[in-house]
Structure 1
Amino acid sequence: MGLVVTARALLFDMDGTLIDSTAAVERTWRRFAARHGLDAAAILAGAHGQRTAETVAAHAPPGTDVAAETAWLVAQDVADTEGTVALPGAADLLAGLPRDRWALVTSAGRELAERRMAAAGLPLPDVVVTADDVRRGKPDPEGYRTAARRLGVDPRASIVFEDAELGLIAGRAAGGYTVVVGPHGGSAAQDRPRITDYRGLTCTDTGDALRLTLPALTGAAV
């Protein structure tokens, strides 16, 4: 028997949560590192879940035009979606959700979100909150609170699916019930339900709420 949880809305991160864009992301940051003589591994260690501009600001040499470098990186990302795929079961889950009951909350910009979701064969919901829509990126809860508001629900009545430390912190700070997707083992993932992907996850619309059954191998005590 799996873990049964209910919510008014489901809020999903994108990279690493609904799609696997690892190869493309790594190629882009390695280009950036080579461009400035930086350690690509050090950049990649902290980039996940963070807005591009914030990662650039943290690693670029003094005097770098952060806005220009961010624009260059985004253009690289938009042009390179090779190898971007949906996590197993994600397409089936999203296809069965009412469009007004789920949202995408990503640290990517709008154009990149559209490109990666399309490359993975996944639909966009009516509510998409990107890096372009918030003043403060994850771990600030602004993105998840904004998505819940646009869906007309209390963020405390949402389930947040995230794969990274910054996103899990943001989801919990917004009041959502966080579910870890994948192997992340940071402190924000401790004692949280965990799924490897969406195979075996079922969702039923009861009218008042969404009733989810997470697979029996959910990896945490609740």
Structure 2
Amino acid sequence: MILPCAAVLFDVDGTLVDSTPLVERAAREWAAEYGIDPDEFLADAHGRRTSDRVADFLPPDRVREATARLDALEATGTDGITALPGAVELLAGMNGLPHAFVTSMDRAQLELRTGAAGIPLPPIVITAEDVPDGKPDPSGYLQAAGHLGVDPSGCLVIEDAPAGIAAGRAAGATVLAVLTSHPRESLAAAHHTVENLARVAAAPDGLHLRL
């Protein structure tokens, strides 16, 4: 299958990088400190800004401090962080196709995790600090498309989580979901799904999928 597009907008964590072991360890330690059920917290945390998920559990006057604490716990190491299948190869072979990263991580987390996984950062990167609202709000994808000079409707968003898929669709982009962190039925809102990025190759006019 060929998906024509003028630019590709990549989510990072769960799409290009697997940092699940680090994130879960930090979240469980953090949740114990704040008297929160860690399984409940983690159930809908993936793909969302940390501050937005923390705000689901704590009053507004505690969100900043609690977010900083969780960020600090996540920044204590890189054990278990790896590139997901096909990610490095796809990025190395973009063949001039414009692309950007749009992540719910902050810049420090992004640099730490991509560095550990060997994922090169493109010139255009939109992080949690760059948007007024996190995914599922489309702000990040709209900003990335604007920086690339491409209409959002001409972009292909690659995501692994429901919140990110909703953000991509709200931006007006075509969304390709990778089955790296959620079951297929959770990602039904995506236009297309593929097992992982090892089944994706780039050409100047878009992405080629092996289903």
Q: Same fold (TM over 0.5)?
A: yes
Instruction: Return 5+ residue gaps in structure 2 as ranges.
Output: none
The yes-or-no answer on 1:181 pairing with 2:178 is yes
Tell me, in whole angstroms, the C-alpha distance in 2 between the residues paired with 1:47 and 1:105: 16
1:149 is paired with a residue whose SS is helix
Tell me, in whole angstroms, the C-alpha distance in 1 between the residues paired with 2:120 and 2:72: 22
Quick one: structure 1 residues 187 and 37, their matched pair in 2 at CA, closer, same or farther if it must change by over 3 Å? closer
Tell me, in whole angstroms, the C-alpha distance in 2 between the residues paired with 1:86 and 1:102: 18
The yes-or-no answer on 1:155 pairing with 2:145 is no
Q: Following superposition of structure 1 onto structure 2, how do residues 91-106 of structure 1 map, counting pairs within 5 Å?
A: 91-97=88-94, 101-106=98-103
Q: Cα RMSD (Å) of the superposition?
A: 1.7
Q: Is the 8 A contact 1:130 1:143 kept in 2?
A: yes
Quick one: structure 1 residues 164 and 81, their matched pair in 2 at CA, closer, same or farther if it must change by over 3 Å? same
Question: TM-score normalized by structure 1?
Answer: 0.88
The yes-or-no answer on 1:58 pairing with 2:53 is no
Question: TM-score normalized by structure 2?
Answer: 0.93
The yes-or-no answer on 1:215 pairing with 2:173 is no
1:65 is paired with a residue whose SS is helix
Aligned residues: 209
Kindly, what percent of the aligned residue pairs are identical? 44
Match of 1:32 in 2: 30
Quick one: structure 1 residues 28 and 97, their matched pair in 2 at CA, closer, same or farther if it must change by over 3 Å? same
Instruction: Return 5+ residue gaps in structure 1 as ranges.
Output: 217-222
Q: CA deviation at 1:99?
A: 6.9
Match of 1:14 in 2: 12
Tell me, in whole angstroms, the C-alpha distance in 1 between the residues paired with 2:60 and 2:150: 44
Q: Is the 8 A contact 2:8 2:155 kept in 1?
A: yes
Quick one: structure 1 residues 4 and 148, their matched pair in 2 at CA, closer, same or farther if it must change by over 3 Å? same
Quick one: structure 1 residues 190 and 167, their matched pair in 2 at CA, closer, same or farther if it must change by over 3 Å? closer
Which moved further from structure 2: 194-203 or 157-166?
A: 194-203
1:118 is paired with a residue whose SS is helix
Q: Is the 8 A contact 1:201 1:215 kept in 2?
A: yes
Q: Residues 130-175 of structure 1, C-alpha deviation per residue, up to 9 Å, x if partnerless?
A: 0000001111111000000001111110100011111000001101
1:167 is paired with a residue whose SS is helix
Q: Residues 30-70 of structure 1, C-alpha deviation per residue, up to 9 Å, x if partnerless?
A: 0111102221000000111111111111113x586211111
Q: CA deviation at 1:80?
A: 2.4
